[in-house]
Structure 1
Amino acid sequence: MRGLIVHDQEIQEIQYLLKREMDEILFELRDDRFNQIVKTAMEERYQILFKLFTKVASSHRECAHYILPIRKRQKKG
Structure 2
Amino acid sequence: MLGVLINEKEMKELEYLIKREMDEILFDLKDDRIDHVVKRSMKERYKILFSLFKRVASPKECLKYMPAKKSMYKG
Q: Same fold, TM exceeding 0.5? A: yes
Listed as ranges, the gaps of 5+ residues in structure 1 are none
Aligned to 1:13: 13
The percent identity for this pair of structures is 49
> Take 2:7 and 2:31, find their aligned partners in 1: how far apart are those partners?
37
Cα RMSD between the aligned structures? 1.7
Larger radius of gyration: 1
Aligned to 2:54: 54
TM-score, length of structure 2 as denominator length:
0.90
Deviation at 1:34, TM superposition (A): 0.6
Deviation at 1:61, TM superposition (A): 1.2
Structure with greater helix share of residues? 2
1:1-77 counterparts in 2 under 5 A? 1-57=1-57, 59-69=58-68, 70-71=70-71
Aligned residues: 73
